[in-house]
Structure 1
């Protein structure tokens, strides 16, 4: 039985390295791809994906005790490298500890991910489980990144102001949507566990029913929500918005993981990236910032 092991994993991903980085680090995205198999569900109790931040999750399998995983982010170099520790325990007994280093490299229009896991098993030999779990998880990660759309805009305004304009039920419907679109709200409750049920109305009068269900709202840093096709309709995408401020300018990152690769390609085809940039442009105008 081996106590120590060094494991290496490589993945070619058909997504830009910036998109892969978002999928690797954003809590809303990690919740989508983290479960290695459909038999496993992952519940995130805490998630702070930045240097010095911590993530705590429970892996649940019917009939078995929960597996607790604590991740601590030690170094984050956006779209280049992350380093984290990982401690796995069951019923309060530590099973393993590991150091995980992930390197991201652009390759043409896609990217390459290299992951090294330095593993110490403390209760039995964990190497086989780690190999299986990481291999499946990174496969999920690649598939998720390849149907993820990332839109980004810098707004010359403080982060708190941008956040307040986004989560205000009076102002959000005024700017949400591309140029020429308006919103007609049925009900709106902008909090964790809340929802926004509304119609987007196109320039030609076409009505597009929408339903957003909100997960985590971490003021003023990020929010996550699920997009449905109409009230209580089928899921369209998992989405999040992240707000980062530098010298009085806030970079807004809006990302969506589409429910299928086909929906992602369809959205790209009708210009979803350009329409999303128009939406963030309207947000900037609402604030009165360039």
Structure 2
């Protein structure tokens, strides 16, 4: 096979800041949104551990076709500049290809540039063409997703166990959640994978904002993912995640949200979602006695 080995390079200009693009690339909840190579393909993540030595296992599902399995291993992560991973593609237990994937993140004006280099070894025909199509489409989607992604981050001077406990406790979460002056009125709360929180956020002037959070992954003291809906069983307006990273006795909380459309993202920015979200993380810090 003359094209068994190949080096493929993909470059994308992304309007989002570097830190936001990094989160869109690495956070498992975000990768699940943009990873599909085509609208007809569904990607299911069986395992996701984004740290050096961690693994990610996913299945690409297309109706009428056997599943394509991707086994990924993270070799290097230097946020928000560079990451390296290997991936092995297989179908029905037969390896199709192996690749080393290097992603470099470079500031570009108010946005970012992403350069992805794939060193590919093909064991089946047409893998080079498949990579060009699949990676190209996925990165196009990533650029769109990053442009409607909001990332908030706060370092809280408390151990991760304490911060996680304040977030994932049905008794305490409603006591601090929301911007300054807001309160929560809970209808149902079940903080586990597959669970939900149905509640009203009540503004200082008494305005009621119905909310419904549906929880996906819950990985103890590490991360959670959830979908945000406008009221109980209402339309989804964002996919969200929270990451908890501890260093030197403090916990960095990263809250990410991918809005369902660019219009919703701009509307949220317009009414001050970034400032209000940072107020929410500030209330969490005060609740655990770290502010």
Q: TM-score, normalised by structure 1?
A: 0.99
Matched residue, 1:266: 267
Task: Please give the residue correspondences for 1:64-213 in structure 2 after superposition, counting only pairs within 5 Å.
Answer: 64-213=65-214
Structure 2: how far apart are the matches of 1:121 and 1:108?
37
Matched residue, 2:55: 54
Secondary structure, counterpart of 2:212 in structure 1 = strand
Q: CA deviation at 1:125?
A: 3.1
Structure 2: how far apart are the matches of 1:188 and 1:71?
34
Matched residue, 1:8: 9
Secondary structure, counterpart of 2:135 in structure 1 = helix
Matched residue, 1:31: 32
Contact 1:243/1:250 (8 A) holds in 2: yes
Secondary structure, counterpart of 2:227 in structure 1 = strand
Q: Deviations over 1:138-184 (max 9, x none)?
A: 00111000000000011000001100100000000000000110000
Secondary structure, counterpart of 1:57 in structure 2 = strand
Once superposed, which parts of structure 1, at least 4 consecutive aligned residues long, lie more than 3 Å away? none
Structure 2: how far apart are the matches of 1:19 and 1:239?
13
Structure 1: how far apart are the matches of 2:186 and 2:122?
54
Structure 2: how far apart are the matches of 1:286 and 1:261?
33
Structure 1: how far apart are the matches of 2:216 and 2:24?
17
Secondary structure, counterpart of 1:277 in structure 2 = helix
Q: Deviations over 1:177-231 (max 9, x none)?
A: 0011000000000000000000000111000000000011111011000000000
Structure 1: how far apart are the matches of 2:225 and 2:218?
7
Q: CA deviation at 1:107?
A: 1.1
Contact 1:3/1:125 (8 A) holds in 2: no
Secondary structure, counterpart of 2:256 in structure 1 = strand
Secondary structure, counterpart of 1:35 in structure 2 = coil
Structure 2: how far apart are the matches of 1:36 and 1:147?
19
Matched residue, 1:17: 18
Q: CA deviation at 1:98?
A: 0.3
Secondary structure, counterpart of 2:32 in structure 1 = helix
Structure 2: how far apart are the matches of 1:245 and 1:107?
30
Structure 1: how far apart are the matches of 2:124 and 2:39?
26
Structure 2: how far apart are the matches of 1:115 and 1:167?
36
Structure 1: gaps of 5 or more residues: none
Contact 1:4/1:121 (8 A) holds in 2: yes
Secondary structure, counterpart of 1:21 in structure 2 = helix
Q: Deviations over 1:28-75 (max 9, x none)?
A: 000000001110000000000111100000000000000000110000
